[in-house]
Chains A and B, each alone.
Chain A
Amino acid sequence: MTVSVVRTKEWAFPVPPAKREVVKATPEVDTGKPPVLFVPGFGHGAWVFTEHWLEHTADRGFPAYAMSLRGHGNSAPAPKADMRAYAHDVAQVAASLPSRAVIVGHGAGALATAHALSRYPAKACVLLAPVFGGIGTALRNPFLCLPALFGAGLRLPAGQLFSREVPQNTARAYARRMGRASGKAQRQLLWGRDPEDPVGDPPILVVGSPDDRIVADNAVRRVARRYGGAPLLFPGMGHDLMLDARWREPIDAILDWLDKAN
């Protein structure tokens, strides 16, 4: 594991502050379980987790938090944000929680989370359908990604995000609520830096679906391998596992894993 001690560039240019949306669901009784922080991906806001997962997590005794990265959901607009600013947002919210947090990052939010792990010693981490970028991901969806290269938003059509089990109206309503990440951050998905090694050696679980039409199966496996494990896969689900018809299965598996890890 390499350690980055000298960070003169970060010190000389700190990320500017931003108002961030954080939604919270508290368990009825304090069970002493660690807080779980959900980090949505590009275009997504905290709302994707408040639909089902946030309450469910609290029901199972974990204090649950969902945030929106700057420029997303109800966080302050940030058209010039870069990946570092998103990672900074994750570390800021995690450090503000009452105790060491479990961070669950989805999509490109998983990449922001992976970057944040080198700046905050998470209790544990779950990378959900992680979009770690690179040319492969872009080639898989050339018609979505090409315009994004020139500054347009990454289009996330309902058909790509959800399985067929989600009623079409619901899926379309979800897709309409999607925003977009900054152009710079989108480009950084292609040629951004790899995340540094995590600090504090947190256990890391990678979760995905072989039927995800945004992230390829082997991309999920590659991320899992990087963190020394095999991914937990949920066939038949779309990229947005937390909004899919069978949303219970992955979140229950994640919380079971957390219960066991503690």
Chain B
Amino acid sequence: MSYAGGDSGPATAWRNGSPVYDREGTVCVIGAGPSGLTAMKNLREEGFGVDCYERETGVGGAWNWRHDRSPVYASTHLISSKPFTQFPDFPMPDDWPDYPKHTQVLAYLDHYADHFGLRPHIWFGSEVVRVEPAENDRWDVTTRSTGGYGTERTHRYDAVIVANGHNWSPKLPEFEGLDTFKGEVIHASAYKDAAQLRNRKVLVIGAGNTGCDIAVEAAQQAAKCWHSSRRGYWYAPKFALGRPADQVNDLMLHLKLPLKLRQFIGQKTMKSTVGDLTRFGLPAPDHKLYETHPIANSQLVYYLGHGDITPVPDVKLFHRNSVELKDGQEIEPDLVVMATGYQPVFEFLDPNLLAVDANGRPRLALHAFPKRFPTLAVAGLLQPDSGLFPLVHWQTVAFARLLKLRDSAPGKAASLYRKLESEVDKSWTDAKVKDSSRHWFEISHLTYLKALERLIQEARP
């Protein structure tokens, strides 16, 4: 494979004794998942050249089940329905189901890459080693073949957009006695197929969307399924009133109902459709609707009602042959699935660039724009109450417009950046969100999109 153009001629600069090849007029995109693809498309639409580095050999990122970092399992379906998932300028086929399967999402992303002619700009099998600031707000990006083979190459770019995803680095909680436990312990990222559960006694830890999906599959396949959750949640059905539930929810937003009223109606609807979950032994939710990341799973409640899932509280510690729960109960699973989520990781960036704190939390305006570095952005670092793709689309449109404005109207661009920097610690959720290790990038899609819309309008030349 040949490398991005520009390195055939003589190097124009040097860094630590190595040549740096200038890619003037070009923006570097890190990752060819949904966020990277839409970043490329939107940057090209605004007239920028793009070089995208992708460590895998195909597009789709997390949605490509062939990728070793993909968290996708055989039964993965969308949690938000099509209107909230598709890119706003590239509709999914309308004869697809309301909640397409992961293979369809990948087909959609593949088609997106072909339709907009993105593949020739992607350097597959290349991973980014370092991203370092250079003079004039430019960036030196060092890459090499995935797996650390071959030599490193450094290219200088006008801007960098980080789209490396945040659902690939497993977050494993520490439990006392875990290392002495004789059963099998896996993280949800290693869960690929329901066959892994067949005839086993399974404990699923975590009541996020993945945890609920796996608990449901365990109910169908395993000999026994315990589902451990830290607190009571609102388990939203995927369909309400005969329509995808998120579409009903956005009808309330369309009618501009205030949060309190939406919570009231939402909770009433949940009580009348899902019912009282304490009957099944689940704790009652300790918070109002919209105060935690939404969980959409119609089947969990169904299997609770059939006794195929036994809800249990948080795990206290592991013994050699059993697991002790917070309420003193002891259970004996032979497979423990930790559906405890993922942590965002930017291994190629100096943490200071994104002002990352001790908990791994970067300080970014609109969860995308770091302070002091107007030509650097992070795309898709969001945990929305809807689909991610439209949000990343508009994030990257805003970034492309801001970059363009820096050329055409530097003064105006600078004042926009100043305003952005003042919003670095602002949160974009309607309700106050309960604490969790990922709560800081939780957003309410409408509030967040309104902010982006304003930014895009203001970045008009």
A: which residues have CB within 8 A of B? Answer: 1-18, 88, 91-92, 95-100, 119-121, 199-201
Contact = CB atoms under 8 A, between A and B. Distances in A.
B328 interface: no
Given A2-B457, A14-B83, A200-B45, A9 B91 contact: no
B254 A120 contact: no
Given A1-B460, A6-B449, A12 B89 contact: no
A200 B116 CA distance: 11
A119 to B, nearest CB: 6
Which has the most chain B C-beta neighbours within 10 Å: A10, A14, A16, A98? A14
B84 A11 contact: yes
Contacts of B91: 88, 91-92, 95, 119-120
The 4 closest A-B pairs by CB, nearest first: A5-B453, A8-B254, A17-B94, A12-B251
Given A6-B453, A88-B94, A95-B115, 15 more contacts: A3-B453, A3-B456, A6-B449, A7-B88, A8-B251, A8-B253, A11-B250, A12-B247, A13-B247, A16-B94, A88-B91, A95-B91, A99-B115, A99-B116, A119-B89
Contacts, number: 80
A202 to B, nearest CB: 10
A104 B5 CA distance: 36
Most A CB contacts (10 A, CB to CB) among B254, B449, B460 go to B254
B14 interface: no
Given A99-B114, A120-B89, A199-B89, A8 B250 contact: yes
Interface string B109-132: 000001111000000000000000
Interface string B67-94: 0000000000000001110001111011
B460 to A, nearest CB: 7
Contacts of B88: 5, 7, 119
B248 A121 contact: no
A11 B116 contact: no
Contacts of A120: 89-91
A92 B86 CA distance: 12
A92 to B, nearest CB: 6
A5 B247 contact: no
Contacts of B460: 1
B184 interface: no
A14 B82 contact: yes
Contacts of A5: 88, 394, 449-450, 452-453, 456
B327 interface: no
Contacts of A18: 94
A100 B450 contact: no
Interface of chain A, helix or strand or loop or mixed?
loop
21 contacts: A2-B457, A6-B446, A7-B88, A8-B251, A8-B446, A11-B83, A12-B247, A12-B250, A12-B251, A12-B253, A12-B254, A14-B83, A14-B94, A14-B247, A17-B95, A92-B91, A96-B93, A99-B114, A100-B117, A119-B91, A120-B91
Contact of B450 (A6, A16, A92, A98): A6
A170 B11 CA distance: 68
Contacts of A14: 82-83, 94, 247
A200 B250 CA distance: 27
Contacts of B93: 92, 96
A4 B390 CA distance: 12
Nearest to B246: A11
A104 B234 CA distance: 49
B117 A121 contact: no
A6 B251 CA distance: 13
Nearest to A18: B94
A92 B453 contact: no
A114 to B, nearest CB: 15
Contacts of A8: 250-251, 253-254, 446
Interface string B239-279: 00000001110110110000000000000000000000000
Interface string B386-398: 0000000010010
Given A12-B254, A97-B115, A92 B94 contact: yes
B250 A121 contact: no
Interface centre among B91, B95, B460 (most CB of A within 10 A): B91
A100 B446 contact: no
Nearest to A117: B89
B238 to A, nearest CB: 15
Nearest to B452: A5
A196 to B, nearest CB: 12
Contacts of B456: 3, 5
A74 B45 CA distance: 35
Contacts of B446: 6, 8
A200 B89 contact: yes
A12 B84 CA distance: 9
A3 B83 CA distance: 18
A63 B115 CA distance: 14
A252 to B, nearest CB: 27
Interface in B161-183: none
B452 A99 contact: no
Given A91-B91, A119-B91, A10 B83 contact: yes
A10 to B, nearest CB: 7
A98 B119 CA distance: 13
Contacts of A11: 83-84, 246-247, 250
Nearest to B387: A11
